Amino acid sequence: MKADYKYENGYFMSKELIDKDVAAYLLANPDFFVDRDSLLLKIQVPHKSKGTISLVEKQLDVIRDRQKETKRQLKVFVENAERNKEIFDKSRKLILSMMAAKKSSEFFAALEKELKRDFRCKANSLIFLGEPKQINHFTSRLPAASARKYVGPLLGSQVPTLGMLRPREQDFLFQAQSEKVKSAAVLPIRDKNKSLGMLAIGSSDSEYFTPDLDFLFISFIAETLGKLLPKHLPK
């Protein structure tokens, strides 16, 4: 309904004035407060701690809040950039170490060493699909049905999973070391779209692997494993 506006005694009056009418009028007349400085000071709006403040003070509060939010976002951006560079450097080092390995024993030793040293890994688990076989203390081959029963969504994911895992998933992946893990990265391993298994990296730091972390560089590790691991696994 259109309001019946009437200007009276320096104020804008209406019998049927509603919020959107006021907002629409002020937006359509940006010069309304020109030469009305006293009106700006007279208009009072609610404030959590001060009771009421002037419109000018309210505007300053809004500007300060926006500045704080901008600074916060910039800080997060810088921290993420630094963290991503750290992950890139560690991923590159790990991949080069795996590629340099000539023997299977060297390959698995390099993988475990870099995970523990550079990724703050307190527990890790490398699972491949196939006939049951314990390859070493952190690498095993399991039937696909068993793996899918406990970690099906992780195994079928197209991208790494970062953050906290479900208790059932965490216990399955890290076994006796499960209680030490506060955050994890689970990397599905594929070769030519065929699911081969997964690598699970567990950290005691709850903030080390988080869902907002860029997983591009960690994905390179999974891709490299998909190419290199088959030749290092026993038949």
Report pLDDT for 149: 92
pLDDT band at 10 (very low <50, low <70, confident <90, very high): low
pLDDT tens digits, one per residue of 64-114:
888 888 888 888 777 777 877 888 888 889 899 999 988 999 999 999 888
CA proximity to 216, closest of 74, 72, 81, 99: 81
Q: Using CA atoms, how far apart are residues 206 and 203, in angstroms rounded to an integer?
A: 7
Pairing label, strands 121-129, 139-142: parallel
The C-alpha torsion from 54 through 56 and 58 to 60, rounded to 10°, is -150
- Domain for residue 166, yes or no? yes
Extended strands (E) in 55-208: 121-129, 133-134, 139-142, 161-163, 183-191, 194-203
Q: How far is CA 203 from CA 30, 132, 146, 222, in A?
A: 56, 27, 25, 18
Q: Using CA atoms, how far apart are residues 118 and 99, in angstroms rounded to an integer?
A: 17
Report pLDDT for 184: 94
pLDDT band at 151 (very low <50, low <70, confident <90, very high): very high
- Domain for residue 200, yes or no? yes
Q: How many CB atoms lie within 10 A of CB 167?
A: 9
Mean pLDDT of all residues belonging to the chain: 83
- Domain for residue 27, yes or no? no
Give 61's strand partners. Answer: none
* Residue that is written with structure tokens 């795996």 in the block: 98
Pairing label, strands 51-54, 121-129: unpaired
- Domain for residue 55, yes or no? no
For residue 21 the two structure tokens come to: 């009418």
- Domain for residue 144, yes or no? yes
Give 141's strand partners. Answer: 128, 133
Q: Using CA atoms, how far apart are residues 214 and 76, in angstroms rounded to an integer?
A: 13
pLDDT tens digits, one per residue of 179-195:
999 999 999 998 877 88
- Domain for residue 223, yes or no? yes
**Cβ distance 169 to 183 under 8 Å?**
no
pLDDT tens digits, one per residue of 13-71:
554 556 778 778 878 888 887 777 777 777 777 777 777 777 777 778 888 888 888 88
Cβ neighbours of residue 1 closer than 8 Å, sequence gap 6 or more: 16
pTM of the model as a whole? 0.66
Report pLDDT for 186: 94
- Domain for residue 2, yes or no? no
Q: Using CA atoms, how far apart are residues 216 and 84, in angstroms rounded to an integer?
A: 9
What's the structural domain count of the chain? 1
pLDDT tens digits, one per residue of 113-138:
888 888 878 889 999 898 888 888 88
What is the crossing angle of helices 55-100 and 104-118, to 10°?
160
- The CATH code of the domain that includes 168 is 3.30.450.40
Report pLDDT for 14: 55
- Domain for residue 3, yes or no? no
Domain that holds residue 208: 70-232
